[in-house]
Amino acid sequence: MKYFIIEGFITNPDLMNDNIMKEHIAYTQKAMEEGFILMSGLKSDMSGGLSVMKSESIKEVEEYLSREPLKRNGIQEYKVIEFSPHYLNPSTSEWFYKEE
């Protein structure tokens, strides 16, 4: 298995609308349910998003992204970075959602 960080860059925010956002959310949720995406979210400056994905190949990730609604509608472009995890925090959900 290979692991990837995906950085999205909004290139045409004026093309965004509610229907495309609903498609994007559903498309992402389905991939999360299938175990393809570990996490996904917006950058704090709202200039795009970040996702952590796993796949057998970069080609599979690129095919997924080519069908992503924001990409299909000319709203977002992507940078794909493959990485090899060496260390994992055993309490990942607590790390991200711990109340302070």
Kindly give, in sequence order, each residue whose CB lies less than 8 Å from that of residue 37, ignoring residues fewer than 6 positions away: 28, 31, 51, 52, 53
Instruction: Locate the domains of the chain by residue range.
Output: 2-8+16-86
Distance of alpha carbon 29 from alpha carbon 62, whole angstroms: 17
Tens-digit pLDDT profile for residues 36-62: 999 999 999 999 999 999 999 999 999
Task: Evaluate whether 10 touches 75 at the Cβ level (below 8 Å).
Answer: yes
Q: Specify the residue for token string 């970040």.
A: 50
Over the stretch 11-42, which tens digit does the pLDDT of each residue have?
A: 999 999 999 999 999 999 999 999 999 999 99
Distance CA 83, CA 5 (A): 7
Least confident window among 47-51, 71-75, 77-81, 96-100? 96-100
In this predicted structure, what is the pLDDT of residue 91? 80
- For residue 38, the 8-state DSSP code is E
In CATH, 2-8+16-86 is 1.10.3720.10: no
